[in-house]
Chain A
Amino acid sequence: MRSRPFNEDPLSQQSPRMTVFFEEYSDIIPDFSSFEESLRKPLPTHIRINRLLIEPASLINALEEKGIHLIRASRRHDTICRATGFPSPGNLLEYFLGYIHPQALTSSVAALVLAPESNSYLLDMCAAPGGKTAHCADIMNNTGLIISNDLYTSRHVALGHTLARMGVLNAAITAYQAQEFPLRQRFDFIMADVPCSCEGKFRQAGKATGYRESSGKKMLPDLQRKILLRGFDLLRKDGQMLYSTCTYNPRENESVVNRLLNERNAELLSIDVEFDVEAGLTNWNGEKYDKRLERAVRFYPHRVDSVGFFMARIGRRG
């Protein structure tokens, strides 16, 4: 796809649509004008260093010798970096070798928040293309077992390729509908990065990568609720689950989690991240949500300079 020159500001050309669309969030997104401004800027390139195959310091030095400068994007984790002046990490030899994986900062944070333990049993409910599964395998040091699930077998090619490239040895791929995953299993950790309207990816000028127009959006909350409920039912007694989306829409975020809190004996666990985040909403558009939703977090592009994101960490009550 030919990209448009940046100075044409296609975002302002599209602004009537964008204004109408994001305007409904103007009362929940802090510093809304800065938020709008951030959507005009290109998404920075973040990469995750794969510790299964290389130590971060070695990789950073090797790329430095090639003139590629990596800046740590996290004070706590040396595996998440920002690549300056090199927009295509997929063209590096280190990508082929599985040493790096291009991944948005907020996507990288998801597995760190879930923090699966070594030798545990993990389910990634909507796994393709495999970035979060691979990150979980890294955190688990390739121990335990990950069930990496994606409904569409056509996506298994990309999923399998990512896992193989990154040296993941503790994963098995399944093809269930996430909301119908068999109940005869119980997992220690569950990643539910569900299909969503991808509003958080509306960032690059002239591109709405993966962004879904309104006709598909209406179906999403019902699907997301079913996936979340099934995921919760698959949790062990002291298991933990992360529900995440890359959208700002409370109908797909707080409202869905609120339904879980009403229908199951679930608890929202606090999330401790070093980044500038906003708490989950407790009301929106006339709808009130459980107060515990304040423990969820929202990532905005003008605060973290990455894809917009929502996360809620969930456990069983008691």
Chain B
Amino acid sequence: MVRNTQLLAAASRLKIAHVGLRAFQRAGAFVKPTTRLIQNFGRFATRAKLQIDKAQLQALLRAEKIPVDMTLDNGYVILAMGEGSVLGLGLCIHGMVSSQLPRKELRGAMLKCHVEQDHRRSESEQGGISC
């Protein structure tokens, strides 16, 4: 996928190795939208979108499946977190969602700051820790 422009005609005379954003890729017998496509355009989706929290994301990154309350059809579902942050895709089968997020790129360590912050906040609310 590439932004349409009249300049593409000029560039067509070049030997192009790669153009734009890869939108889809093969996943076995199926065609799957890429994570980057979903991150860029997933916010416009009106269906098959699931809002998850940090704990659910951590479970997905541990290759666990998370149950969902919504009546989701079997298939790909857009995973969103917080306000407007689209992470990528999950796969919903019979009410259980597994991660289709790129494991090498999205690591549990990326959530550490969040988790520590939440942990500190909850402990201070209980009067256990002074900052």
Contact = CB atoms under 8 A, between A and B. Distances in A.
Given A68-B113, A96-B106, A97-B87, A184 B13 contact: yes
A175 B105 CA distance: 26
B109 interface: yes
A65 interface: yes
Contacts, number: 100
B47 interface: no
B1 interface: yes
B106 to A, nearest CB: 5
B3 A92 contact: no
Nearest to A156: B17
A182 interface: yes
B107 A91 contact: yes
Contacts of B26: none
Interface string A270-312: 0000000000000000000000000000000000000000000
Contacts of A185: 10-11, 13-14
B126 interface: no
A92 B113 contact: yes
How many chain A residues sit at the interface, stated as a range, is 35 or more
The interface residues of chain B, by DSSP majority, are classed as mixed
A145 B105 CA distance: 28
Interface in A42-96: 53, 62, 65-68, 91-93, 95-96
Contact of A174 (B17, B22, B34, B117): B17
Contact of B111 (A93, A145, A169): A93
A240 interface: no
A169 B21 contact: yes
B36 A145 contact: no
A125 B19 CA distance: 16
Contacts of B19: 171-173
A96 B13 contact: no
A14 interface: no
Contact of A169 (B20, B34, B82, B113): B20
Nearest to B10: A185
Nearest to B14: A174
Given A65-B117, A66-B113, A185-B13, A169 B18 contact: no
A131 interface: no
A144 interface: yes
A172 B117 contact: no
B110 interface: yes
Interface of A: 53, 62, 65-68, 91-93, 95-98, 119, 121, 142-145, 147, 153, 156, 160, 163-165, 167-176, 182, 184-185
Given A167-B39, A171-B2, A172-B16, 10 more contacts: A62-B82, A147-B11, A156-B17, A164-B21, A165-B36, A167-B40, A168-B21, A169-B40, A172-B20, A173-B16
